[in-house]
Chain A
Amino acid sequence: MAADEDGVMWVEKYRPKTLNEVVDLRDIVESLKAFMRNPKTMPHLLLAGIPGTGKTTVALCIARELFGQNWKTFTLELNASDERGIDTVRDRVKDFSRYSRAAFGNVPFALIILDESDQMTSAAQTALRRIMETSSRTSRFILICNQSGKIIEPIQSRCAIFRFSKLDRKAMIDHLCCIAKKENVSLAPEAAERIVDYAEGDLRHAINALQTAAAYREGLVDEKTVSQVIGEASPIQVQLMIRKALYGDFIEARKMMYELIGSFGFSGSEIVRQMQRELFKMSSLTPEQKADLSNIIGEYDYRLTQGANSDIQLSALLAQFAKVGKAKGESS
Chain B
Amino acid sequence: MKEDLLWVEKYRPKKIVDIIGNDEAKAAFVEWLKNKRHTKKAILLYGPPGVGKTTLVNAAANEFGFRVIEMNASDTRSEKAISAVAGPATSFVALDTFSTESKGNILFLDEVDGIAGNEDRGGVSAIVRIVEESRIPVIMAANDPDLQKLRPLKKVSALVRFHQVRIPLIIAMLQKICHKEHVKAEFEALERIAENSRGDVRSAINDLQSLAETTKTLTLQDTVVLSARNKDISMDETLRSYFSAESLLEAAMLLSRSSVDYDDLLMAIGDNLPLRYGDPAELAEAYDFVSQADMYRGRIGVENWHLLKYFFNSLSEAAAVSPESYKPFTLISPPIRVITLFWTKGKRTMLDAICSKIGQKCHVSRATAKQDFIPFLKVLLAKQKAASALSWLGLQPEEVEFLTKMNKF
Contacts and interface: CB of A to CB of B under 8 A. Distances in A.
Interface of A: 3-4, 7-9, 11-12, 51-52, 56, 60, 77, 79-82, 115-116, 119, 204-205, 208-209, 211-212, 215-216, 229, 232-237, 248, 250-251, 254, 258-259, 261-266, 270, 274, 300, 303, 306-309, 311-313, 315-316, 319-320, 322-323, 325-327
Given A8-B389, A215-B385, A216-B383, A77 B365 contact: no
Given A115-B365, A233-B379, A263-B348, 20 more contacts: A56-B364, A60-B363, A82-B366, A119-B365, A212-B376, A212-B380, A234-B375, A250-B280, A261-B341, A262-B343, A263-B347, A263-B351, A264-B348, A308-B263, A308-B266, A309-B267, A309-B270, A309-B294, A309-B297, A316-B287
Nearest to A59: B363
Interface in B377-409: 378-380, 382-383, 385-386, 388-389, 392-393, 406, 409
Contact of A81 (B300, B337, B366, B385): B366
Nearest to A209: B376
Contacts of A313: 291, 294
Interface of B: 263, 266-267, 270, 273-274, 280-281, 283-284, 286-288, 290-291, 294-295, 297-300, 336-337, 340-341, 343-344, 347-348, 351-352, 356, 359, 361-368, 370-373, 375-376, 378-380, 382-383, 385-386, 388-389, 392-393, 406, 409
Contact of B294 (A236, A237, A254, A312): A312
Contacts of B383: 215-216
B283 A323 contact: yes
Rank and list the top 6 A-B pairs by shortest CB-CB distance, nearest first.
A262-B344, A215-B385, A323-B284, A316-B287, A316-B291, A307-B294
B294 A208 contact: no
7 contacts: A9-B393, A79-B365, A115-B363, A215-B380, A233-B375, A264-B370, A323-B283
Contacts of A3: 388, 392
B376 A211 contact: yes
A3 B389 CA distance: 11
A204 B372 contact: yes
A60 B364 CA distance: 12
B388 A8 contact: yes
Most B-side CB within 10 Å, residue of A9, A77, A205:
A9
A320 B282 CA distance: 10
A233 B378 contact: yes
A11 B358 CA distance: 12
Contacts of B340: 258, 261-262
Contacts of A209: 376
A309 B265 CA distance: 12
Contact of A265 (B270, B352, B368, B382): B352
B287 A261 contact: no
B283 A322 contact: yes
Given A56-B363, A209-B376, A313-B291, A248 B280 contact: yes
Nearest to B347: A263
Contacts of A77: 363
Contacts of B295: 303, 306-307
Given A81-B367, A309-B270, A319-B280, A258 B336 contact: yes
B280 A306 contact: no
A319 B285 CA distance: 8
A251 B352 CA distance: 28
A115 B360 CA distance: 12
Nearest to B408: A236
Most A-side CB within 10 Å, residue of B266, B366, B380:
B380
Contacts of B267: 309, 311-312
Contacts of B406: 263
Contacts of B294: 303, 307-309, 312-313
A241 to B, nearest CB: 11
Contacts of A7: 361-362, 392
Contact of B297 (A56, A80, A307): A307
Given A208-B372, A307-B294, A250 B343 contact: no
A77 B378 CA distance: 27
Contact of B351 (A212, A250, A265, A315): A265
A318 to B, nearest CB: 8
Given A216-B383, A315-B273, A265 B371 contact: no
Contacts of A323: 280-281, 283-284
Most B-side CB within 10 Å, residue of A234, A322, A327:
A322
Contact of A12 (B286, B341, B361, B382): B361
Contacts of A234: 375
Contacts of B361: 7, 9, 12
Nearest to B282: A323
A294 to B, nearest CB: 17
Contact of A116 (B365, B375, B409): B365
B298 A262 contact: no
Contacts of A315: 270, 273-274, 287
B375 A235 contact: yes
Given A308-B294, A309-B263, A320-B284, A236 B409 contact: yes
A264 B348 CA distance: 6
Contacts of B281: 323, 326-327
Contacts of A263: 344, 347-348, 351, 406
Contacts of B364: 56, 79, 115, 204
Given A9-B361, A235-B375, A325-B280, A312 B337 contact: no
A51 B370 contact: no
B180 to A, nearest CB: 49
Nearest to B262: A308
A166 B9 CA distance: 72
Nearest to A217: B383
Contacts of B284: 316, 319-320, 322-323
A208 B365 contact: no
A3 B294 CA distance: 52
Given A9-B392, A81-B365, A208 B376 contact: yes
A265 B295 CA distance: 23
Contacts of B373: 9, 208
B298 A306 contact: yes
Nearest to A81: B365
Contacts of B266: 308-309, 312
Contacts of A204: 364, 372
